[in-house]
A = this chain, B = another copy of it.
Amino acid sequence: MRMHRDTSLLLVIDLQVGLLPVLEFGEQAVEEASWLGGVAEALDVPVWLTEQYPEGLGESAPSLLASLEAPRMWRKTHFNAHAEPGFAQALAATGCRQIVLCGAEAHICVLQTGLALCEAGYGVAWLAEATSSRRRDEASLARRRMEQAGAQVVSADMVAYEWLERCDDTRFKDIHRRFLKERASRPLVFT
């Protein structure tokens, strides 16, 4: 599966202020989700955010919200976002078939959502450097389960270049100047 910008949607799970301090590489997850969110919006790819029980875990990270123009927000109490009332219908209505998935915790809400999306027939791309748990090794176990379910593990760079396809149009020049150049020199950890 290669990613196509006309059929993709970026889904960011539960990057909330109450959860971030305990995550391993939580700041990087927010930064990379924000970065790909910016690329997505520039290419008219929908961006959705979920928040798990915000009364307890707080709102989404301010820097994530600041980097996005108009994400669709979902509050949820199911760990699996796809089981939240209204979510499955709304997702199907977008016509998107490829879901780029990231957030926290990798082995609970991201995993359960990802497995449900695979079961529902979506192509799922697990954004490695923007998906995090308290314990990095527990996030790695989640990644393996997703791979077994058919998901691809991707980086934000991979997705951006697959969405862009070629380097000889104005779209590429704009995204390269605003996004790609900056990320190229940034150190990153891929869980």
Contact = CB atoms under 8 A, between A and B. Distances in A.
Contact of A141 (B140, B154, B161, B165): B154
Contacts of A132: none
Contacts of A52: 167
A67 interface: no
A170 interface: no
B79 A166 contact: yes
A20 interface: no
Copy total for this chain: 4
A83 B165 CA distance: 9
A189 to B, nearest CB: 8
Greatest chain B CB density within 10 A among A128, A147, A161 is at A161
B141 A145 contact: no
Given A2-B115, A52-B167, A111-B158, A141 B190 contact: yes
Given A2-B112, A112-B2, A153 B141 contact: yes
A13 to B, nearest CB: 13
Contacts of A44: none
A178 interface: no
A108 B161 contact: yes
B2 A116 contact: yes
B145 A157 contact: no
B158 A107 contact: yes
A184 B189 CA distance: 23
Contacts of A171: none
